[in-house]
Amino acid sequence: MGKAIEITDANFEEIISGDKPVLVDFWAEWCGPCKMIGPVVEQMASEYDGKAIIGKVDVDSNPSVAQAFGIRSIPTLLFFKGGQIVDKQVGAVPKAVLSQKLDAQL
């Protein structure tokens, strides 16, 4: 069963530059809406196992990545393909919205 991988400042570039589409959830422990979308992201990691990479960046522990992408509000979810941002979602949304955006990159 797939699980969202922990993405850090150190492994970020390596993870987003692979062949598969990547969904990155920028979150923090103290963020209420992040806790709402967290289980959805974990569920998607399981559903898209083998098709896409689903990961999470704790913005408090990994400020460099968050800063590099100008993350000001969390949760922010960025969709990457070939190392480039192809879509973005700010704020908690239903799973269907995230699935639709990720499906478009498959």
Which of 28-34's residues contact partners 24+ apart within 8 Å by CB, and which partners? 28/58, 28/59, 28/60, 28/74, 29/58, 29/60, 31/74, 31/75, 33/74, 33/75, 33/91, 33/92, 34/74, 34/75, 34/92
Measure the N-to-C terminal CA separation of the chain; round to a whole number of Å: 19
**Paired residues of 22 in beta bridges:** 53, 80
Is it the case that residue 1 has pLDDT exceeding 70?
A: no
For residue 59, what are its two tokens?
Answer: 């913005």
The fourth-level CATH superfamily of domain 5-104 is Glutaredoxin (3.40.30.10)
The structural domains of the chain, with segments of one domain joined by +, span 5-104
Q: Output the average pLDDT for the chain.
A: 96
Residues assigned a catalytic role: 31, 34
pLDDT digits (tens, 9 = 90+) for 86-105: 999 999 999 999 999 999 99
> Which two three-digit tokens encode residue 103?
């499906």
pTM, whole model, 2 decimals? Answer: 0.95
Report d(CA 32, CA 36) in Å as an integer.
7
Q: Which helix (H) or strand (E) holds 25?
A: strand 22-27
